[in-house]
Amino acid sequence: MIELVRRLRLRNSRFVGIDIGREAVRIVELSRNKVGTFNLQNYGSEHLIDGAVDDDDIHDLEHVMAAAHRLWQRLNFKADNAAIGIPSSAVTVHIFPTDQANSESQREKLAEEHITALLGYDVADACIDFCTMGPPTTTSDQITMLVAAARRDCVEDRVAVAESLGLRTTVADAEIYARQRALQFAGASITTNDSAAPSRQPIGDVSQIPNPFAGMTLAAGIDPAQLHAEAPVYLVACGLALRGFE
């Protein structure tokens, strides 16, 4: 998974995932105990007016901040660190092979060179990150690299929303990867509990989407039936919160 904001090595017990969409700001707060079990501490959403956010950009940052603040105050979240979602349509991803012997600085230069040719805007206006895909092998002198870029203003607006809540942004991830992370977690939980692999249905068929909260304990006050009904729209926020612990 790509992190468009370099993550800091923190050991906090709680993380929030912040999903800013066209219709609402959604936040999921998770904690994890010493044996690795996740607990859903809190979750909720706040409606946004039409036009405040589109598929790529936040057009009314003040309104989004105010909505996020109302949600934060209403549900009394406790986390200090956040993972934010970047619209998948705003993220450019490229995979390429390179020499395993290259240094980190050489890989960084190659990553920028490869992604620059694919951007429709100046590379100075991009947040760029890269990683190697899989461990190095002893049978090849090549490794596979993944590089991703997003418009800097798209990332910084979402960081600003988190900062307005007093949060430190430690991870920024493409929404599609966050959703996949939540589905992977749901699959592991369902396979363990039900001995059957979950189906991977399109987002439109919400009744068939695995519940990413199924393998978690729930904080007092969370209604399991209501959570089960609402879980599909919190896939991205949940996946982002999970990313905070990786």
Task: Tell me if domain 14-88+153-243 and domain 89-151 are identical in fold.
Answer: no
CB of 107 closer than 8 Å to CB of 100: no
Give residue limits of the domains in the chain.
Answer: 14-88+153-243, 89-151
User: What is residue 135's predicted lDDT score, i.e. its pLDDT?
Assistant: 64
Q: pLDDT digit string (tens) for 75-84?
A: 999 999 999 9
**pLDDT beyond 80 at 5:** no
Provide the edge-to-edge strand list for the sheet that holds 38-47.
168-174, 81-86, 14-20, 24-32, 38-47, 217-218
> How many Cβ atoms are within 10 Å of 208's Cβ, its own excluded?
12
Looking at the chain, the whole-number percentage of residues with pLDDT higher than 70 is 84
Stated pTM of the model = 0.82
Residue 218 φ then ψ, to 5°: -115, 140
Residue 245 φ then ψ, to 5°: -95, 0
CB of 51 closer than 8 Å to CB of 119: no
Written as six digits, the tokens of 174 are 């493409």
Q: pLDDT digit string (tens) for 174-195?
A: 999 999 999 999 885 444 333 3
**CATH architecture assignment, domain 14-88+153-243:** 2-Layer Sandwich (3.30)
The CATH number of the structural domain formed by 89-151 is 3.30.1490.300
User: Confidence class of residue 229 from pLDDT cuts 50, 70 and 90?
Assistant: very high
Q: pLDDT digit string (tens) for 19-67?
A: 999 999 999 999 998 888 999 999 999 999 999 999 889 999 999 999 9
DSSP assignment of the chain equals: ---SSPPP----SEEEEEEE-SSEEEEEEEEE-TTS-EEEEEEEEEE--TTSB-SS-BS-HHHHHHHHHHHHHHHT---SEEEEEE-GGGEEEEEEEEETT--HHHHHHHHHHHHHTT-SS-GGGEEEEEEESS---SS-SEEEEEEEEEEHHHHHHHHHHHHHTTPEEEEEEEHHHHHHHHHHHHHHHHHHHHSSPPP---TT-GGGS--TTTTSEE-TT--HHHHHHHGGGGHHHHHHHHHTT-
User: What is residue 206's predicted lDDT score, i.e. its pLDDT?
Assistant: 47
User: What is residue 72's predicted lDDT score, i.e. its pLDDT?
Assistant: 98
CB of 159 closer than 8 Å to CB of 86: no
